Chain A
């Protein structure tokens, strides 16, 4: 009896079914991605399908995706982090000041840049778990505080808001170089990160903890999950990921500026939502965020290959976002009401 009762789930998993696909969090993201690809192939012509075009959206997707994954995890866990918008310039400036302005060893700069990320993440995490203040407000505070601190300190130390960093060698190669002069090495980091996140979130048991936390934080804690530690870790992850992106950009462009990175705040949230993560937490997938990020990047870059004005891309993204939110609710309802009909 019991062996028989377990069989349907197993059988269903190994068979492909359209209904099964539609109930997954990434269903909408995949449809959206296909739609924008078709759209830009039609309106962008052959230019859109060239390697140069691919490099354009892959580079955007890779940088954005590194941040979108941890932001997505935070949103699945029921939290938010907007301070990443300051983390990117903060780490750029850190490595540029340490290794550019002060000419220190490049690895010291790398460590300092990532260290700033860990530090801000710890501050965010502790503030969120220790106070009852919503994480949006907490990280809005650290967004401005970090931005002000970086601006003040860089003017104080270097007398400028942009600092040159010339580097070569291994660090430049692995963090901030172009392959074939068009593809950023970040693309490899992003693909590697995708694989690691998929493992941790969907195969190891830690993923279960994050979904449980987003579903019902109190019940998750009652079930023995170290919710506070996990929350702090997720904030450290998002801050450090943003720091990683900022550091790589400084090495790539040989210059750091205090005023870049704010666009990552909204762009990452859009990618995550288009990727099928519920705004209320508890539901989503890594592969969905992956698709959502590519969708965003394709719209962002594909517009150049069409005859439309660049400004229309924001309209498309806005519409995509609204459709995604509506679809996510529909897909969630479908997933909830699903019960095996046959048998």
Chain B
């Protein structure tokens, strides 16, 4: 479309990642443009979370390069990525049960007031911003930023984590299965938030197992199967049935993995004939 000619906000070139002897990602190349939602699809264990952890500075790739606005970048720590405006909601964690809502929201980016060496954490401001952010999210039950996060429900905690990322993400918003713990109302809210972020010109990566959710917000889809990009297409290029098949296809293949391996070891390393 119109922004197809501008340099991608984020670009991955031939990214590989292995943990010791375990190869998790193979030769991943992807582009992410401003104002675009990339849906990352794939079965459990396909490497989706590992991929976005590379983009958010949690893991350093074994090889390959990351480009931001066309120039190479490297993220040694999550801070490097967040300093460049990349905000991520990871699949697990993200909030701190025994901390207050206000403190948890601002971990690592605490607002301070005061002067010189006597700067103090601005609790009032932190609470105000955090409470407003979750209330804007439709969770009106929360009105006191001093409440501990551990007293919230799973969905409320997830919403808090997403609200935080939306608050801090200036260029790229990455959501790893954000709707998994949410009810219908909150899940719809997340989709709305994704669309809002997109309209504000952010680039969004959205990981989900639900085809409906993916179809609702995705402009661009990438399917990971066992660590490789198995399909990469734009909205409208595939039907819903095809997308469902692709997502389920990974599942079938994961189930067949052992059979294939067994077959290969008893047939001089030859893979089984295609089709079934």
Partner of B96, one of A9, A12, A204, A282: A282
Q: Pull 19 A–B residue pairs with CB atoms less than 8 Å apart, ordered by A.
A: A9-B124, A9-B127, A9-B144, A10-B127, A12-B144, A204-B112, A204-B120, A208-B103, A212-B103, A215-B96, A216-B97, A221-B58, A222-B58, A224-B77, A224-B109, A226-B79, A278-B98, A336-B98, A339-B147
Quick check: which of B1-9, B128-136, B183-191, B195-203 contacts chain A, the rest being far away?
A: B128-136
Contact B121 A208 (CB under 8 A): yes
Does A181 count as interface, using CB distance less than 8 angstroms?
no
Contact B119 A208 (CB under 8 A): no
Does A50 count as interface, using CB distance less than 8 angstroms?
no
Closest-by-CB residue of A relative to B161 is: A219
In the complex, which residues 181-204 of chain A have their Cβ closer than 8 Å to any Cβ of chain B? 203-204
Beyond known contacts A9-B127, A205-B121, A212-B96: 11 more, CB 8 A cutoff: A2-B132, A204-B120, A205-B119, A212-B103, A212-B104, A212-B107, A219-B96, A219-B107, A224-B108, A282-B99, A336-B151
Does B251 count as interface, using CB distance less than 8 angstroms?
no
Contact B107 A225 (CB under 8 A): yes
Closest-by-CB residue of B relative to A219 is: B93
Does B94 count as interface, using CB distance less than 8 angstroms?
yes
Docked Cα-Cα span, A212 to B106, in Å, equals 10
With A2-B135, A208-B103 in contact, do A219 and B95 touch (Cβ < 8 Å)?
A: yes
Docked Cα-Cα span, A222 to B103, in Å, equals 15
Contact A5 B107 (CB under 8 A): no
Does B232 count as interface, using CB distance less than 8 angstroms?
no
Distance in Å from the Cβ of B219 to the closest Cβ of chain A? 26
Partner of A9, one of B79, B97, B119, B146: B146
Contact A2 B97 (CB under 8 A): no
Residue of B95, B120, B131, B143 most packed against chain A (CB within 10 A): B143
Closest-by-CB residue of B relative to A2 is: B132
Docked Cα-Cα span, A46 to B94, in Å, equals 55
Contact A220 B107 (CB under 8 A): yes
Across chains A and B, which 5 residue pairs bring their CB atoms closest together, nearest first? A205-B110, A215-B96, A224-B108, A219-B93, A223-B108
Docked Cα-Cα span, A340 to B102, in Å, equals 16
Partner of A8, one of B56, B106, B144: B144
Distance in Å from the Cβ of A218 to the closest Cβ of chain B? 6
Partner of A204, one of B82, B119, B132, B145: B119
Contact B135 A5 (CB under 8 A): yes
Secondary structure type dominating chain A contacts = helix
Q: How many residues of A contact B (CB 8 A)?
A: 39
Query: A219 — which chain B residues lie within 8 A by C-beta?
Result: 90, 93-96, 107
Docked Cα-Cα span, A5 to B143, in Å, equals 5
Partner of A13, one of B77, B79, B120, B146: B146
Contact B120 A203 (CB under 8 A): yes
Docked Cα-Cα span, A13 to B102, in Å, equals 14
Query: B82 — which chain A residues lie within 8 A by C-beta?
Result: 224
Contact B78 A221 (CB under 8 A): yes
Contact A204 B121 (CB under 8 A): yes
Contact A10 B151 (CB under 8 A): no
Docked Cα-Cα span, A335 to B146, in Å, equals 10
Does A6 count as interface, using CB distance less than 8 angstroms?
yes
The number of residue pairs between A and B whose CB atoms lie closer than 8 Å in the complex comes to 128
With A219-B90, A336-B150 in contact, do A6 and B108 touch (Cβ < 8 Å)?
A: no
Closest-by-CB residue of A relative to B103 is: A208
Docked Cα-Cα span, A9 to B146, in Å, equals 6
Query: B99 — which chain A residues lie within 8 A by C-beta?
Result: 208, 211-212, 215, 282
Contact B95 A2 (CB under 8 A): no
Closest-by-CB residue of A relative to B141 is: A339
Residue of B97, B120, B146 most packed against chain A (CB within 10 A): B146
Contact A283 B98 (CB under 8 A): yes
Query: A222 — which chain B residues lie within 8 A by C-beta?
Result: 56, 58, 78, 88, 90, 93-94
Does A337 count as interface, using CB distance less than 8 angstroms?
yes
Does B148 count as interface, using CB distance less than 8 angstroms?
yes
Query: A9 — which chain B residues lie within 8 A by C-beta?
Result: 102, 124, 127, 131, 144-146
Distance in Å from the Cβ of B101 to the closest Cβ of chain A? 9
Does A207 count as interface, using CB distance less than 8 angstroms?
yes
Residue of B58, B103, B128, B144 most packed against chain A (CB within 10 A): B144
Query: A203 — which chain B residues lie within 8 A by C-beta?
Result: 120-121
Docked Cα-Cα span, A2 to B109, in Å, equals 21
Docked Cα-Cα span, A222 to B92, in Å, equals 11
Closest-by-CB residue of B relative to A202 is: B121
Query: A338 — which chain B residues lie within 8 A by C-beta?
Result: 147-148, 151
In the complex, which residues 214-236 of chain A have their Cβ closer than 8 Å to any Cβ of chain B? 215-216, 218-226
Docked Cα-Cα span, A338 to B95, in Å, equals 18
Contact A212 B121 (CB under 8 A): no
Does A264 count as interface, using CB distance less than 8 angstroms?
no
Docked Cα-Cα span, A339 to B79, in Å, equals 33
Query: A335 — which chain B residues lie within 8 A by C-beta?
Result: 98, 148, 151
Residue of B58, B82, B95, B148 most packed against chain A (CB within 10 A): B148
Bitwise, A1-44 to B at CB < 8 A (1) or not (0) is 11001101110110000000000000000000000000000000
Contact B132 A5 (CB under 8 A): yes
Distance in Å from the Cβ of A92 to the closest Cβ of chain B? 33
Distance in Å from the Cβ of B86 to the closest Cβ of chain A? 11
Does A332 count as interface, using CB distance less than 8 angstroms?
yes
